[in-house]
Amino acid sequence: MKRFFGFVTKEFYHIFRDVRTILILFGMPIAQILIFGYVITNEIKDVNIAVLDHSKDEVTREITDKLLSSGYFILNKKLETNDQIQEEFEKGDIREVIIFGDNFARKLQKEKAADVQIITDASDANTANLVRNYTQAIINDYVKEKNATILQPARLVPEIRMLFNPELKGTYMYVPGTMAMILMLISAMMTSITIAREKEMGTMEVLLVSPLRPAQIILGKVAPYVMLSFANAVSIIVLGYFVFGVPVQGSLVLLLAESLLFITLALSLGILISTVSTGQQMAMFISMFALMLPTILLSGFIFPIENMPEILQWLTLIMPPRWFITIIKNIMVKGTGLLFVWKETLILVGITLVFIVLSVRNFKIRLE
Amino acid sequence: MAGENGYIVDVKELTKKFGNFIANDRLTFNVSPGEIFGFLGANGAGKTTAIKILCGLSSPTSGEATIAGYNVYRETEKIKQNIGYMSQQFSLYEDLTVYENFRFYGGIYGLSRKVIRKRTEELLHELNMEKVKNRVIHSLPLGWKQKLAFSVAIIHQPKLIFLDEPTSGVDPITRRQFWEMIYKTAQDGITVFITTHYMDEAEYCGRVSIMAEGKIKAIGSPNDLKSQYDAHNMNDLFIKLVRN
pLDDT in tens, A129-163: 888 888 888 888 887 787 766 555 555 666 767 77
Residue A366 predicted with pLDDT over 80: no
Domains detected in chain A: 2-40+169-367 (no CATH), 47-149 (3.40.1710.10)
CA–CA distance, B37 with B185 (Å, rounded to integer): 13
Q: Residue A148's pLDDT is what?
A: 64
What's the whole-number mean pLDDT along residues A58-71?
88
Q: In this structure, how many other beta carbons lie within 10 angstroms of the beta carbon of residue B126?
A: 12
| A16, closest residue in chain B (CA to CA) | B95
Over residues A244-266, mean pLDDT:
91
pLDDT at B244: 66
What is the arithmetic mean of pLDDT over B106-113? 92
What is the identity of the amino acid at A257?
A: A
Residue B204: which of B173, B232, B182 has the closest Cα? Answer: B182
pLDDT for position A40: 66
The one-letter code for the residue type at B149 is: A
Question: What are the structural domains, with CATH classification, of chain B?
Answer: 32-57+83-243 (3.40.50.300)
Nearest to B55 among A6, A202, A209 (CB): A209
The dihedral built from the CA positions of residue A20, A26, A32 and A35, taken in this order, carries a sign that is negative
Q: Is A20 on the interface with B (CB under 8 A)?
A: no
Q: Which helix (H) or strand (E) holds B219?
A: strand B215-220
Residue B56 touches chain A, beta carbons under 8 Å: yes
Distance CA B162, CA A210 (A): 12
Higher pLDDT residue, B240 or A258? Answer: A258
Write out the DSSP string of A129-142: HHHHHHHHHHHHHH
Confidence grade of residue A230 (pLDDT, cut at 50, 70, 90): very high
Alpha-carbon distance B67 to nearest alpha carbon in chain A (angstroms): 14
Q: For chain B, positions 94-113, list CB contacts with chain A under 8 A.
A: 94-96, 100, 103-105, 107-110
pLDDT of residue B210: 92
Residues of chain B with C-beta less than 8 angstroms from the C-beta of A201? 89, 91, 93-94
Q: Give the gap in angstroms from C-alpha B111 to the nearest C-alpha of chain A.
A: 9
Are the C-beta atoms of B192 and B36 separated by less than 8 Å? yes
* C-alpha to C-alpha distance for B170 and B154, rounded to whole angstroms: 20
A162 contacts: CB under 8 Å, gap ≥ 6: A168
CB distance B55–A3 less than 8 Å? no
**Amino acid at site A281:** Q
* Residue B191 vs residue A89, higher pLDDT: B191
Asked if B95 lies within 8 A of A211 by C-beta distance, the reply is: no
The DSSP element (H or E) to which A99 belongs, if any, is strand A96-100
Report CB contact under 8 Å: B100, A13.
Answer: yes
pTM: 0.78
Q: List strands edge to edge, sheet with B70-71.
A: B21-31, B9-18, B62-67, B70-71
Q: Are A299 and A313 in contact (CB under 8 A)?
A: no
Give all strands of the β-sheet with B83-87 in edge-to-edge order: B83-87, B160-164, B191-195, B36-41, B207-212, B215-220
DSSP codes of every residue in B8-52: SEEEEEEEEEETTEEEEEEEEEEE-TT-EEEEEE-TTSSHHHHHH
Count of CB contacts below 8 A, A vs B? 74
Residues of chain A with pLDDT > 90, as a percent, come to 19
Does position B224 have pLDDT exceeding 70, yes or no?
yes
**Residue B231 touches chain A, beta carbons under 8 Å:** no
Query: Given pLDDT bands bounded at 50, 70 and 90, which one contains residue B133?
Result: very high
Q: How confident is the model at residue A178 (pLDDT cuts 50, 70, 90)?
A: confident
pLDDT in tens, A321-364: 899 999 998 898 888 888 888 999 999 999 999 999 998 888 76
| A296 CB-contact burial (10 Å; exposed 0-12 / middle 13-18 / buried 19+) | middle
B95:A202 CB<8 A: no
Stretch B64-85: mean pLDDT = 92
Interface of A with B in 158-217 (CB under 8 A): 201-203, 205-212
Cα separation, B108 vs A204, in Å, equals 13
Predicted local confidence at residue A42, as pLDDT: 64
Could you tell me the CA-to-CA distances from B82 to B113, B152, B187, B206 in Å, in that order? 19, 14, 18, 22
Pinpoint the alpha helices (H) of chain B.
Answer: 47-54, 76-82, 98-108, 113-127, 142-153, 172-187, 199-202, 222-228, 234-243
What average pLDDT does chain A have? 85
- How many angstroms separate the CA atoms of B49 and B166, rounded? 17
- Tell me the chain B residues in contact with residue A2 when contact means C-beta distances shorter than 8 Å: 107, 110
CA angle A203, A206, A209 (to 5 degrees): 150
